[in-house]
Amino acid sequence: MDVRACRIVVLAAVAVVCGCAQVRVVDPAGPDERLAQVNGVLDGREAKIVLTTGEEFFGAHVHVRADSTMWVAQAARAARVVVATSDLKTIAVLDRGRGARRGAILGGAAGALVGLYLVIETTSEPPFKGDFEGFAVAIPIGGVTGAALGAAVGGYVGSERTFVFSSGGAESSSTKGGSRRRH
């Protein structure tokens, strides 16, 4: 494999790894529409819930309200857990369908570019002279192959959506570690 091909593979891998997470800051005291959007994303998915104390829970059927948050705990044989929303730090869900869609788009674009690269490198003529059969074949085949591979990888890796709750002490979407809730 030559240096150019290695660069393409490395860039594609970086794009897949980096493009699969989304962090949003949520203010529970904000508009009801915002909580409705959060609940729409959480609906029917398993989630990882982290409290400001550092405790982690895994649950399903998560529902966030301005004053309280409820979910069904996986470890406690379907026990319902209710906590104050102000005690939430983050809620994260993994969306494999979204990961597959993003992977297909990214993979299709990368595959089409690889097809274009191969046609340019293997033709003895300048790229825009003469017969366009190579372009008409290699770009779609590369795009479809890349989209299929990208969808498979994206579906396996998934796309993580993390909601950081501002009442839980988060100062920004990049806050990490255990910050304490303000009184």
Contact in structure between 60 and 47 (CB atoms under 8 Å): yes
Pure H helices in 123-160? 133-157
Give residue 105's pLDDT: 92
pTM metric for this prediction: 0.62
Tens digits of residue pLDDT in 71-81: 988 776 668 88
Q: Does domain 18-89 have CATH number 2.30.30?
A: yes
What are the structural domain ranges in the chain?
3-13+97-157, 18-89
Question: How many other C-beta atoms lie within 10 A of the C-beta of residue 112?
Answer: 20
Q: Which residues face 26 on adjacent strands?
A: 165
Q: What is the mean pLDDT of the chain?
A: 77
Give residue 168's pLDDT: 40
Give residue 125's pLDDT: 60
3-state secondary structure of 158: coil
Tens digits of residue pLDDT in 12-61: 666 555 555 677 788 887 777 888 888 888 888 889 999 999 999 998 88
